[in-house]
Each structure stands twice: as C-alpha cells, then as structure tokens.
C-alpha cells in the first residue's frame, strides 16, 4: 500500500484514552495521530465510528467450525480457511491462534 490516507472523525481507541481524532496512514504505516477532525479534502470521514488496533484472538475454535459445521458434514479445507479468514478480518481480528484438535497416534 503506497500513498497517503487520512481517516478523520473517528473515536480513536488509544492505550490511555478514547479520543475523537484523525489518523494519517502513509505507505501502509501510521504516520500521525491528531486530536480533532481534519478538513483536508480527500480525508475519509468515519462519522464517529471507532478506530482501533487489530485484535489478537489467542484461542479460537472458529476454523474447526468452518471445516466441520455439523458432525456429519465436512467442508473443503480451502473454502473453510477462506471463510475463517474473512470472518476474522471482518471482526477486526488481525492475529488468531486456532485451537485445533489433533490426534497423535503412537
């Protein structure tokens, strides 16, 4: 991702507080965070939506549910993985550790 994107009118979820403000993203990285709304043309107004860092899910059973939605049903693994990734991204989860059941035969 190259260029600059300005996100304004958002409630920023920061470590120390919630702040109505503006975030400048330059070349895929956060370049600046400022309080208040921005009036620069081309800024994307988030209309008071919350803007927060990606969420880390340390234990998910979602992938198993996608691969085997019912006890007698098996779903193609590629489709299950794509559905799982889409659901996680839509929910704001950027990192996930799937708790998969595996059987080891000795």
pLDDT, tens only, 51-85:
988 888 888 877 877 877 788 887 788 888 888 88
Region 101-106: mean pLDDT is 47
Predicted TM-score (pTM) of the model is 0.61
pLDDT attached to residue 7? 96
What whole-number distance in Å separates Cα of residue 7 and Cα of residue 42?
Answer: 9
pLDDT attached to residue 2? 67
Region 89-104: mean pLDDT is 75
- State which H helix or E strand residue 78 sits in: helix 77-90
| Higher pLDDT among residues 83 and 47, named by residue | 47
């Amino acid at each position: 991702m190259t260029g600059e994107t300005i996100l304004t009118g958002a409630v920023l979820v920061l470590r120390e507080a919630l702040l109505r403000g503006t975030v400048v993203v330059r070349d895929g990285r956060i370049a600046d965070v400022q309080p208040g709304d921005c009036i620069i043309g081309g800024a994307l107004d988030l209309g008071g939506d919350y803007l927060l860092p990606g969420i880390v899910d340390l234990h998910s059973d979602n992938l198993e549910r996608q691969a085997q939605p019912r006890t007698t049903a098996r779903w193609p693994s590629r489709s299950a993985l794509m559905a799982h990734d889409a659901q996680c991204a839509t929910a704001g989860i950027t990192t996930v550790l799937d708790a998969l059941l595996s059987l080891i035969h000795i």
